[in-house]
């Protein structure tokens, strides 16, 4: 499900976005597009000398305004259909025909009179015909929707595009709702992009310094995610290729809104073995970690904790209990692209807590190149003599690893 405000349609990158949408359709991705028309409506109003009226940031749609909205939406619809008709030219999928279907999928109701102001043809979504949309999607067509909806008695209503997008995504229980915008992504105070935010953190943010666009999209995303849409993603149309980056890279683009953080720290399962092997292989090649084969890993998988995102193993660590209430911390590793984000710390503190809960009072680690990292986290230089007898007998003199110990 993709939402594009009229600003996105007016942007230089719009043609490329449509091209990417056509490509996705030809690859079999089920797509519903919902577009708005705010700047185009404003422009038409200016041309026709119509005074646009708003109350609480909501447009009042009287009769002349409704005609203008219909005109703007109709033009945009035809423009999008024309662009999609060029299909996937200049791509390996050249020649694939793209079908676009629109229709009366949105049942609307009037907003009515608020604070004594009659909103006339400004409305809100009453119901979405998800079944009809799904039938179109089953036929591999793209569903094209806009900000107009109809009531049972045949009246037309102008609806907020975010409302249509959210309610449609909920009705379809979409895998993803992607919202394009101008400056809709969220940033930390230092300017860095917030890649991932959970719904419970949103209300704190909305009361802080956010633009109207950000607040509206965030609250819509929150509503969608809390009502069964798996994820919402805010992406910027000014970033060329944002849509494909979002869909085909692990980190995506823009800000992701979901119910739970995407990275999960949990006990490793058999399905993680391949991911752990891939994570450890380069470190084993460099001699940073002792080589462990697949069989060993499969036998010892219950010793491992992993940090995963979309089933990709980003980090791991293992705990091997010995006699004398001691345990070895081993295979602490974080994927090189994800280092420096406290993931190593999270793995370490999780295993420390687990060790304590198991009655272990001393952790040790053997390391050749990561001594400082452990020292900075409370480990002290130890000796081979301090190791449990079983481990001492296996100590590899050639590796000459340093022993570090931490009391819990
Ligand atoms: C050690 C490791 C797990 C840390 O993961 P991480 O997610 O980057 O850890 P954190 O974000 O919690 O910590 C990052 C800090 O550790 C420092 N650090 C990373 N590797 C280090 C090393 N080998 N020695 C000393 N400090 C190191 C970073 O410089 C950073 O410090 P800074 O914040 O002051 O810049 C990761 O670097 C790794 O996988 N290294 C290779 C495997 C390894 O050596 N494992 C230990 C085997 S016993």
Q: What is the pLDDT of residues 224-243, one digit of tens each?
A: 999 999 999 999 999 999 99
Please state, in angstroms and rounded to a whole number, the distance separating the CA atoms of residues 63 and 57. Answer: 19
Cβ pair 312, 250 in contact under 8 A: yes
Please state, in angstroms and rounded to a whole number, the distance separating the CA atoms of residues 34 and 5. Answer: 8
Please state, in angstroms and rounded to a whole number, the distance separating the CA atoms of residues 406 and 183. Answer: 47
Angle subtended at Cα 181 by Cα 179 and Cα 184, rounded to the nearest 5 degrees? 95
Pocket test for ligand 1, best of 291, 340, 351 (most atoms within 8 A of CB): 340
Q: Which two tokens stand for residue 174?
A: 């979409």
Residue with tokens 């272990």: 360
Can you give the pLDDT at residue 89?
62
Taking the centre of ligand 1 as the mean of its atom positions, its distance from the CA of residue 285, in whole angstroms, is 18
Please state, in angstroms and rounded to a whole number, the distance separating the CA atoms of residues 292 and 275. Answer: 13
Q: Which two tokens stand for residue 277?
A: 């092997």
Angle subtended at Cα 385 by Cα 381 and Cα 387, rounded to the nearest 5 degrees? 80
Q: What is the pTM of this model?
A: 0.72
Please state, in angstroms and rounded to a whole number, the distance separating the CA atoms of residues 97 and 85. Answer: 7
Can you give the pLDDT at residue 206?
65
Can you give the pLDDT at residue 88?
60
Region(s) of the chain under CATH 3.40.1160.10:
2-261
Region(s) of the chain under CATH 3.40.630.30:
264-407
Q: Is 201 in the pocket of ligand 1 (CB under 6 A)?
A: no
Can you give the pLDDT at residue 96?
65
Pocket test for ligand 1, best of 316, 370, 396, 400 (most atoms within 8 A of CB): 370
Ligand 1, atom 19, residue with closest C-alpha: 373
Q: Which two tokens stand for residue 347?
A: 């793995």
Question: For ligand 1, what atom is nearest to the CA of residue 334?
Answer: 39
User: What is the DSSP code (8-state) at residue 186?
Assistant: -
Can you give the pLDDT at residue 398?
74
State the Cα torsion 248-250-253-259 to the nearest 10°.
120
Please state, in angstroms and rounded to a whole number, the distance separating the CA atoms of residues 228 and 168. Answer: 11
Question: Distance of alpha carbon 392 from its chain centroid, rounded?
Answer: 47
Q: Is 341 in the pocket of ligand 1 (CB under 6 A)?
A: yes
What number is the average pLDDT over the span 73-87? Answer: 91
What number is the average pLDDT over the span 305-316? Answer: 93
> Could you give the 3-state DSSP secondary structure of residue 262?
coil
Taking the centre of ligand 1 as the mean of its atom positions, its distance from the CA of residue 343, in whole angstroms, is 9
Q: Is 167 exposed, middle or buried (0-12, 13-18, 19+ CB in 10 A)?
A: buried
Q: Which residues pair with 34 in a beta bridge?
A: 3, 145
Cβ pair 133, 143 in contact under 8 A: yes
Sheet-wide strand order for 100-101 = 100-101, 142-145, 32-35, 2-4, 176-181, 231-236, 255-258, 196-198
Question: For ligand 1, what atom is nearest to the CA of residue 343?
Answer: 7
Taking the centre of ligand 1 as the mean of its atom positions, its distance from the CA of residue 201, in whole angstroms, is 29
Q: Is the per-residue pLDDT at 397 higher than 80?
A: no
Question: Superfamily assignment of 264-407 in CATH?
Answer: Gcn5-related N-acetyltransferase (GNAT) (3.40.630.30)
Q: What is the pLDDT of residues 325-366, one digit of tens each?
A: 999 999 999 999 888 888 999 999 999 999 999 999 999 999
Q: What is the pLDDT of residues 17-73, one digit of tens each?
A: 998 999 899 889 999 999 999 999 999 999 999 988 999 888 999 999 999 999 999
CATH annotation of 2-261: 3.40.1160.10
Q: Which two tokens stand for residue 308?
A: 């995963």
Taking the centre of ligand 1 as the mean of its atom positions, its distance from the CA of residue 290, in whole angstroms, is 17
Can you give the pLDDT at residue 252?
83
Tell me the percentage of the chain whose pLDDT exceeds 70.
97
Sheet-wide strand order for 326-334 = 263-267, 304-309, 312-321, 326-334, 362-367, 402-407, 380-381
Pocket test for ligand 1, best of 286, 344, 399 (most atoms within 8 A of CB): 344
Q: Is 337 in the pocket of ligand 1 (CB under 6 A)?
A: no
Residue 8: closest CA among 29, 43, 32, 38? 38
């Amino acid at each position: 499900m993709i939402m594009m405000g009229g600003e996105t349609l007016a942007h230089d990158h719009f043609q490329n976005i449509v091209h990417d949408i056509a490509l996705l359709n030809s690859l079999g991705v089920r797509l519903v597009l919902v577009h708005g028309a705010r700047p185009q409506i404003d422009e038409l109003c200016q041309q026709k000398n119509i005074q646009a009226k708003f109350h609480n940031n909501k447009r009042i749609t009287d009769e002349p305004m409704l005609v203008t909205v219909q005109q703007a939406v109709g033009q945009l619809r035809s423009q999008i259909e024309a662009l999609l008709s060029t299909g996937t030219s200049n791509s390996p999928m050249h020649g694939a025909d793209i079908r676009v279907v629109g229709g009366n999928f949105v049942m609307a109701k009037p907003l009515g009179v608020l604070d004594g102001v009659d909103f006339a043809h400004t409305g809100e979504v009453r119901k979405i015909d998800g079944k009809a949309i799904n039938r179109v999607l089953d036929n591999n067509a793209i569903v094209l929707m806009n900000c107009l909806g109809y009531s049972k008695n045949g009246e037309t209503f102008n609806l907020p595009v975010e409302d249509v997008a959210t309610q449609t995504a909920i009705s379809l229980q979409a895998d993803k709702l992607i919202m394009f915008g101008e400056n809709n992504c969220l940033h930390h105070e230092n300017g860095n992009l917030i890649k991932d935010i959970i719904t419970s953190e949103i209300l704190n943010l909305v009361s802080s310094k956010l633009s109207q666009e950000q607040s509206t999209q965030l609250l819509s995303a929150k509503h969608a995610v809390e009502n069964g849409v798996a994820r919402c993603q805010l992406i910027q149309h000014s970033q060329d290729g944002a849509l494909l980056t979002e869909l085909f890279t692990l980190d995506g683009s823009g800000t992701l809104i979901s119910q739970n953080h995407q990275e999960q720290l949990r006990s490793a399962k058999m399905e993680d073995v391949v991911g752990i092997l891939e994570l450890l292989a380069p470190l084993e090649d460099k001699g940073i970690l002792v080589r462990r084969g697949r069989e060993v890993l499969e036998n010892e998988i219950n010793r491992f904790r992993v940090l995963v995102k979309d089933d990709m193993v980003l980090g791991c660590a293992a705990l091997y209990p010995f006699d004398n209430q001691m345990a070895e911390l081993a295979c602490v590793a974080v994927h090189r692209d994800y280092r420096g984000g406290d993931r190593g710390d999270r793995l370490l503190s999780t295993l420390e807590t687990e060790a304590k809960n198991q009655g272990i009072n001393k952790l040790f680690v053997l390391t050749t190149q990561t001594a400082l990292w452990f020292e900075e986290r409370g480990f002290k230089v130890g000796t081979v003599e301090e190791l449990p007898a079983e481990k001492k007998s296996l100590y590899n003199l050639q590796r000459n690893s340093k022993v570090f110990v931490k009391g819990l």
